[in-house]
Structures are given as structure tokens and as C-alpha cells.
Copies of this chain bind each other. A is one copy, B any other.
């Protein structure tokens, strides 16, 4: 298949490298900053730099841009997307984006399937992309009424490059889950390192500090957009977390060991029930 990857950051760059490393598909890469696409070409991460003309030949297009930028790209280049082409995104939120891309797909005759590769690092950009980024990860599909064949094509491609799970869901359910699994830990990491003790932690910390603070090195432009596009589910998760933290805080402050133990036990049992 002829694959176009739009945006060569950590996700787009890793998709290119993975398709080159693990499959025989033809890979075209586009990046707004041309030097990055040039670098991808030199490294062999893409077969060619994706021009508007080349885009017309793509069977599958992966939009790996910030959410609204992905929508804008399609608005700008819709006449370079051939009818029947499968277009997918990689955005971390779905409700706000899928409706726009689905409407554009219906208007211009391509097929849109939402997707979210559940992989990343605490750094961003092409330089940290790698073919193995998706090994063992989950590729969430949000079909939005697309033909079965298109969804299955994306599933097959995902499995070829290392993903091992391909759950399907609705935009709304995706956003509720992601608010908890991904967005909440990012908010937490930022709030956590704001403690006055943080700058002096060295020598006094180990795995717990490292794990909670890891993603505090956040790309605030991207994540503020993601958070605001998912305002209600994320606010609900934050309220739940603050409520549960406050409940534990009050038992510590009040010195009630039995009630404190009961709350901690509740957490342990949830984690154990998941077999983790």
C-alpha cells in the first residue's frame, strides 16, 4: 500500500520508521518544517517526501498533527485526497475532532476512521521517534460509521507494526477513558512537581518520584489543546481524584488508622483485581 504520514513528530516519525522496518509498504512523509522531512528521507525513514502530487497516490493517510491542525490540513489539501482513500488521525481526543473529519470525509468522498496510537514518551519530536515505539501497545480505533473494510485495513496495518491490541469504541467513550488513563496523569505530574520540596528531591527520591513526575516535561501547547477539547470528562476525573485524595488526607490528618487502612485497602484491591 502507499502510505502518507503527515507530521513527522514522535508519532508520525515512529509510524514511518515502523512501516519501513516491519513492512513492505511504500512510505511518504510530510512535515511543515521541511528539514525534518529531509532528515527522515536521509535516514531512510521514508521512501519519499510527500508533495501534494504524491499525496494524490496515497491509499492510507495518517494525520499526525495537533488535533485542529489535522482538520485544517484536510481542509487545505482535500483535493489531493483521492476518493476512497482511508484517512485516519492520531489525536489524543476524539469527540471534537472526529465529527469535523467525518463531515469533511462525507463532503469530499474519502473514508475517515478515527484512531489513537497509545504510545509516546516524555520527549517529543522526530529525533526521539523509533520503529519499536508501538511494540505491545494499543491502537484504539474509532470507526465513526466507516466501512468495515477500512477499519480492518487500519487494524491489519497496526498489527504489522507492533501494536497488539486494537479496541474499537465511540468518540465519547474514548474521551472518557483517555481523560483517566492519559490526561489525568499529565495534569498530576505538573501539579506534583509544583511542591516546594521538588527542587531538592535528589538523594531523597526513587521510583515513586520518578514515575509520578515523568511526564511533567509536558508540551503545554499540545496538551492545553487536548485538555480543553476534553473539558468535561477531564474535569470530572479531576473532581473524582481530588475527592478521593481529600478523603485519604482527612483520615491521615485525623489520625484514624482503621479508616485510613480501609481506604488504602480499597485501592490495593482494585489494582489486584486487575491482575497488575
Instruction: Tell me the A residues contacting B by CB distance below 8 Å.
Output: 118-120, 137-138, 140, 165, 167, 169, 174, 176-182, 184-209, 211-218, 220-221, 223-225, 227-228, 231, 234-235, 237-242, 244-249, 252-253, 255, 257, 260-261, 263-268, 270-274, 276
Contact = CB atoms under 8 A, between A and B. Distances in A.
Q: Which 5 A-B pairs have the closest CB atoms?
A: A190-B267, A220-B264, A185-B208, A211-B211, A181-B205
Given A201-B177, A204-B174, A274-B199, A190 B268 contact: yes
Contact of A238 (B204, B238, B245): B245
A205 to B, nearest CB: 4
Contacts of A120: 206-207
A252 B191 CA distance: 13
A50 B275 CA distance: 36
Question: By DSSP majority rule, is chain A's interface helix, strand, loop, or mixed?
Answer: helix
Contacts of A191: 241, 244-245, 247-248, 267
A246 B234 CA distance: 12
A83 B235 CA distance: 60
A217 B177 contact: no
Contacts of A240: 194-196
Which has the most chain B C-beta neighbours within 10 Å: A177, A191, A196, A244? A191
B261 A187 contact: no
B212 A212 contact: yes
16 contacts: A118-B206, A138-B205, A138-B206, A165-B203, A180-B201, A181-B197, A181-B201, A181-B209, A189-B267, A191-B244, A192-B241, A199-B273, A216-B267, A218-B268, A224-B264, A238-B245
Given A235-B252, A253-B231, A138 B204 contact: yes
A182 B223 CA distance: 27
Nearest to A217: B271
A190 B263 contact: yes
B241 A245 contact: yes
B276 A252 contact: no
A94 to B, nearest CB: 11
Given A178-B204, A190-B266, A224-B260, 19 more contacts: A138-B205, A165-B203, A185-B212, A189-B267, A190-B244, A190-B268, A201-B274, A202-B274, A211-B212, A213-B271, A217-B272, A217-B276, A218-B267, A220-B261, A221-B261, A224-B257, A228-B257, A239-B249, A242-B245
A274 B120 CA distance: 21
Contacts of A201: 177, 180-181, 274
